[in-house]
Amino acid sequence: MSKDKNPRRVADNEAMAKLRMLRTSPQKLNLVAGLIRGKKVDQALTDLTFSKKRIAVDVKKCLQSAIANAENNHNLDVDELIVAEAYVGKNLTMKRGRPRARGRFGKIIKPFAEITIKVRQVEEQA
């Protein structure tokens, strides 16, 4: 008696990659994720390569991982992939501080975020 196999969390024509503990705020990360939503993966990679945002390097790694998952694990065609979803979530928040004048304490909040990228294979219309 063994347990049933876990069902796939995405559809048969999709693949997913998730990157956790990114040292940036979710609001800033969402700006970069908005750059690639709905685009073909080669155009999204180009946009991330030439983006001036620091976190774009990590988002590009996550997108490349999603593409590799689609190709190697799910046998999808890389040329027909689009970025179906790219959503951002909160992660932990480090709380630091700094002494201020008159015995006060200035809070410094260092947020972390996570990003999930789903790529989907769509057949091109001729």
Other C-beta atoms closer than 10 Å to the C-beta of 81 total 24
Predicted local distance difference test score (pLDDT) of residue 125: 66
How many other CB atoms are there within 10 angstroms of residue 96's CB atom? 9
pLDDT for res 126 = 55
User: What's the rounded Cα separation, in Å, for the pair 42 and 44?
Assistant: 5
Q: Is 99 exposed, middle or buried (0-12, 13-18, 19+ CB in 10 A)?
A: exposed
User: Average pLDDT for consecutive 10-residue bins of the chain (126 residues)?
Assistant: 84 95 97 96 97 97 97 94 96 97 97 97 78
Tell me the pTM. Answer: 0.90
